[in-house]
Structure 1
Amino acid sequence: MSQLIVLGVADRETAERALDIAADLNKQQLLRLEDAAYAYKDDKGRPRIQQTVSTTGMGAAGGALWGTLIGLIFLNPLLGLAVGAATGAVAGKLTDIGIDDDMIKQIGTHLEDGRAAVFLLADITTADRVIDAVKPLRPTVIQTNLSKDDEHELVEALRA
């Protein structure tokens, strides 16, 4: 089962390092990363979100494929490609998979200036190795969907 863990980190660069660490742990099969993102405030104090999965791009690619196939049936593959890509991009933009975008925005608006939040939706298979990998970033737990006991253990493990 996937767990949502939101960690507070020092800044945007640390958030990017956290996502790099999560991607590396995913390659090592120490966790199965389903979605990841980070939020930070820009120089003007506006919340910004960086996501790792672009549903717009995936939708455009899928739409282009289906549009081309339909275009071949009606003997106009270029028109089918264009219409399919545009339709797929719009559908991808409206699709929300993984971590809830509204939650990311809400937490992003409450960040202190300079700080960032890292959002990980993952099935963690070896929690001790994952904690050891992110501990040098000195994260704080903002929110999880873990049980109270598991969340408390996570907070204590990151403090130690």
Structure 2
Amino acid sequence: MTTFTTWKFETVDGADRAADTLKQVRSDGLIKVEDYAVLTWPADADRPEVKYENRDNWRAAGWGAFWGVLFGALFFLPLIGAAAGAAISLLNKHMQDVGITREQLDAIGKQVGPGSSALFVVTSERDLDLVAERFRGHEGTLIATNLVAGEADEVRQAFEG
């Protein structure tokens, strides 16, 4: 099962530090990371900065489009008003394919703002217990996931603990 998760951090560098842990977990073979993106939003900036993980050109094109639609609709297009409607419809289609609801998208848009950061991850084939253990102490908040309730609670506790 493909899993989408979004973590919010109360610091601008929190998501970068969690991404470093994610890379280590991936290299240790505990999780298959399809792709991820790190969003940082300095307190004095008008909009966030986004860094993508691109491993090869074929995947980069597909995931680049996905991330572009996601971040564009959530953080950039609302600034231009009605023209955002078509992009939001396209985003809803992509998000349904990944298993993310409109409510989760709304939560992301409302909770991630200046002075914070977020890690967006698409994974599959994971050892949830070991992965959660590696992320203990990162102090992020899980704001969107398509994990089932028990799995989401387990991952949430790892970040809180």
**TM-score using structure 1 length:** 0.65
Q: 1:123: Cα distance to partner?
A: 1.7
For 2:121, the equivalent position in structure 1 comes to 120
For 1:36, the equivalent position in structure 2 comes to 36
SS in 1 for 2:132: helix
Q: 1:9: Cα distance to partner?
A: 1.3
Q: 1:32: Cα distance to partner?
A: 0.7
Is the alpha carbon distance of 1:150 and 1:98 closer, same or farther for their aligned partners in structure 2, counting shifts above 3 Å? farther
Q: Which one has the largest radius of gyration? A: 1
For 1:98 and 1:132, locate their aligned partners in 2 and report how far apart those are by CA, in whole Å.
30
For 2:46 and 2:152, locate their aligned partners in 1 and report how far apart those are by CA, in whole Å.
30
Between the aligned residues of both structures, percent identity stands at 22
Q: How does 1:66-85 map to 2 (within 5 A)?
A: none
For 2:3, the equivalent position in structure 1 comes to 3
Q: 1:124: Cα distance to partner?
A: 4.6
- Alpha carbons 2:30, 2:130 under 8 Å: kept: yes
SS in 1 for 2:62: coil
Give CA deviations for 1:29-87 in whole Å, capped at 9, x if unaligned.
000111011112233231221111177xx27xxxxxxxxxxxxxxxxxxxxxxxxxxxx
For 2:64 and 2:127, locate their aligned partners in 1 and report how far apart those are by CA, in whole Å.
21
Q: 1:111: Cα distance to partner?
A: 1.6
Range with bigger deviation, 114-123 or 147-156: 147-156
**TM-score using structure 2 length:** 0.65
RMSD of aligned Cα (Å): 2.7
For 1:96, the equivalent position in structure 2 comes to 62
Q: How does 1:105-116 map to 2 (within 5 A)?
A: 105=72, 106=74, 107=108, 110-116=111-117
5+ residue gaps, structure 1, are: 60-91
Q: Number of residues paired by the alignment?
A: 125
For 2:51, the equivalent position in structure 1 comes to 50
For 1:143 and 1:3, locate their aligned partners in 2 and report how far apart those are by CA, in whole Å.
10
- Alpha carbons 2:30, 2:126 under 8 Å: kept: yes
For 1:137 and 1:130, locate their aligned partners in 2 and report how far apart those are by CA, in whole Å.
13
Deviant stretches of 4+, over 6 Å: none
Q: Relative contact order, CA 8 A, sep 6+: which one is greater?
A: 2
Q: How does 1:19-34 map to 2 (within 5 A)?
A: 19-34=19-34
For 2:145, the equivalent position in structure 1 comes to 144
Given residue 27 of structure 2, which amino acid in structure 1 is its aligned partner? K
